[in-house]
Structure 1
Amino acid sequence: MGQLVWDASQRRDHRSAHQYFDQAHAAARRVHDSTAAGLSLLRKSYVALYGQKNPKAGLALTTQAAETTARTSHVINALSTLHAAEAHAMMGEQAECEHALDQAGQRFELVSDDDVALDLFSPTQHGRLAGSCYLFLGEAGKAETILDTTAGRLRDRSKSEAIVLGNLTLARLRQGKVDEAAATLHRAMDVIERTWGGGGLTIMFDACREMRPWRTRTEVQDVHDRMLSLMATR
């Protein structure tokens, strides 16, 4: 319910999402389910990181989630560590970020078919978060390389694909690759039209704002026109 409420509100209703995740965490602790408890903490960290833009709170939650699932789920432990890396990146802490990325990669290598959270695992998760981290750290070239490879492996028209393509747009734009950025954003919009994921929409708006210095260029005008048409259908 917490995830549903947050998605339905386009990632604006932080309070209700936190309430549902808190309920889930309390219920998990009552039945001594460390995996469920860790997952609820991880979901809360998403709200802190991507909704409230509070990396310090997000880091505290991801660290707690990783500790809670250290012995019960390699998947949730690794995901928590990945998002801890992103929290460090948001705060400009490159060494801590890269250390967490390495830790998450090592933990993913331990994932087996009997992991209780296996359905949450995807082989593209590390690349998606690593690319985002390097964007936050101001290394657009490195982010582009990672995100381009990750996008090539994602062909499922999922919310994750929209986020990866949106971040790849930003990475190219920040290197002055306006033509490539516009083409990539059109690909992201193709996915957004099918999923309407809040994360993809947020990055789409961010990319359109960053394109303003080139607003007289035809390809940028086309992107803005498509964005307006897309939002008019909602």
Structure 2
Amino acid sequence: MAPPRKALTDRRKAEGFSRESLAFVVGVAEKTVGKWERNEATPEPLNQPRLAKALRLTTQKLIDLLNADAEPEVQDGLDRVEWALANPSQADFEAVARLRNHVVELGERYDRERSTALLAEAGQLLGQVRFLRQHAHRYGVKRDLLAAEAEAATLMGQFAWDASQRRDHLEARKHFDRAAEAAREINDPVLESIALLRTSYVALYGEDDARDGLRLTEQAAVAARGNSEVLEGLAVLHTAEAHAMLGERRACERALDLAQDHFGQKTEDDPVPEMFSQTQHDRLAGACYLRLEDTTKAQPSLERVAVQTRSRSKSRSIALANLSLTHILQRDLEQAAASLHLAIDSVEGTWGGGGLKVIFNVARELRPWRAEPVVDQVYDRLLTVMAAT
């Protein structure tokens, strides 16, 4: 009796298919897929191209996988990950490095593409990382896969929350919690701090829970301490906004000053230099003073962000919407509408869920002036945005 085709089963699972779902894609019965995996039958030539496409293999590689009596040779280049998925117990450092590079590449696409378009790819990547981590034998490889899982789970939580326009808090928290757990398993305080910081965003900007947000930002700052001035500075910045939400002006301003100190001490070897930008302090300071209803201090900070931040940035749409709110509070409808139009321009280039949520929240503040032509024009554009989303 021929041995089961374990490599085919592993490949199916790595690509995120159940037997039923793979059968549906290929156009056969579920029991037929079972027969293929038990080596009781071989896919007919008519089915092989569809099966290969579903499993992201060439037809020849599928045939090799079905007929292999020994482990296939390691291939160079992009095939390294495919080989590891077919031979998960032998995954190596190079395959893990390619997966982690894929996480970085997805993160870089975040400001250029809709999160909804990135979700499937991020989910598949996270599934591949988890699959390899579950089967890895070498300690060093398993450790690197846990780091990759922390990174991929954090990214998946970020995409899921943004795609839901910051409504699906449970799904986002589930991914961030797993990321923090994986980071703690390998004692990586930087990855743990990032996961905690992302969770604090859900508490602060999704659930409007300032107390929980404060707790999480403080935990993120503690984890980052001595490991990354950038991360600690970011955590303290969001601690400032938690204090602002609670109406604690003195604590907020102390945190803003402390964050600036951390950013001033960052070095070239900081582990996450890409997380720092020159506009972050102004953006959060503007948001803090806006929450404290101090428009005279909020407006200059937000105006600097609007000028300095590149147009295709999801954070720019939030800053512009907040700037619009400062003008509303000052009863300057012309400037409020102008800033909100710019915010809409920005969000139409990125479709960031956070920007969409803030824009619609600000638009609600314009309801008392709905009959004004300048406000009516904003509402017309928002109807177009709603149709597009």
What's the TM-score once normalised by structure 2's chain length? 0.59
Deviation at 1:121, TM superposition (A): 0.7
- Give the aligned partner of residue 213 of structure 2: 58
Deviation at 1:207, TM superposition (A): 1.5
- Give the aligned partner of residue 178 of structure 1: 333
2:381 to 209, 226, 234: 226
Q: Deviations over 1:62-83 (max 9, x none)?
A: 0010011111011110000000
Gaps of 5+ in 2: 1-155
Work out whether 1:47 is the aligned partner of 2:234: no
Work out whether 1:7 is the aligned partner of 2:162: yes
Deviation at 1:152, TM superposition (A): 1.1
Distance 1:45 1:159 in 2: 18
- Give the aligned partner of residue 237 of structure 2: 82
Distance 1:153 1:108 in 2: 18
SS at 1:100 equivalent? helix
State the AA in 2 paired with 1:36: L
Greater CA drift, 12-21 or 101-110: 12-21
Deviation at 1:175, TM superposition (A): 0.4
Instruction: Give runs of aligned pairs for residues 152-163 of structure 1, distance below 5 A.
Output: 152-163=307-318
Gaps of 5+ in 1: none
Q: Deviations over 1:47-101 (max 9, x none)?
A: 0001111010000000010011111011110000000000000010000000000
1:142 to 269, 294, 297: 297
Seq. identity, %: 50
Work out whether 1:68 is the aligned partner of 2:234: no
Distance 2:166 2:290 in 1: 21
- Give the aligned partner of residue 125 of structure 1: 280
Distance 2:388 2:159 in 1: 21
Deviation at 1:224, TM superposition (A): 0.3
SS at 1:167 equivalent? helix
Work out whether 1:34 is the aligned partner of 2:192: no
- Give the aligned partner of residue 347 of structure 2: 192
Larger Rg: 2
Distance 1:220 1:43 in 2: 34
Deviation at 1:155, TM superposition (A): 2.5
State the AA in 2 paired with 1:56: R
Distance 1:7 1:221 in 2: 28
Deviation at 1:5, TM superposition (A): 1.1
Distance 2:327 2:266 in 1: 33
Deviation at 1:42, TM superposition (A): 0.3
Deviation at 1:182, TM superposition (A): 0.2
Deviation at 1:196, TM superposition (A): 1.1
Deviation at 1:112, TM superposition (A): 1.8
SS at 1:223 equivalent? helix
SS at 1:155 equivalent? coil
- Give the aligned partner of residue 101 of structure 1: 256
Q: Contact conserved, 2:286 with 2:299, CA < 8 A, in 1?
A: yes
> RMSD in angstroms over aligned alpha carbons?
0.8
Work out whether 1:206 is the aligned partner of 2:350: no
Distance 1:217 1:210 in 2: 13
Deviation at 1:13, TM superposition (A): 1.1
SS at 2:166 equivalent? coil
Greater CA drift, 198-207 or 183-192: 198-207
Moved segments of 4+, more than 3 Å = none
State the AA in 2 paired with 1:8: A
Q: Deviations over 1:94-125 (max 9, x none)?
A: 00000000000000001122111111110100
State the AA in 1 paired with 2:316: E
- Give the aligned partner of residue 215 of structure 1: 370
Greater CA drift, 152-161 or 53-62: 152-161
State the AA in 2 paired with 1:44: T
Distance 1:16 1:176 in 2: 39
Q: Contact conserved, 1:141 with 1:175, CA < 8 A, in 2?
A: no
Q: Contact conserved, 1:2 with 1:16, CA < 8 A, in 2?
A: yes
**Per chain length, whose mean CA-contact separation is higher, i.e. which structure has more relative contact order (CA < 8 Å, sep 6+)?**
1
Distance 1:180 1:233 in 2: 25
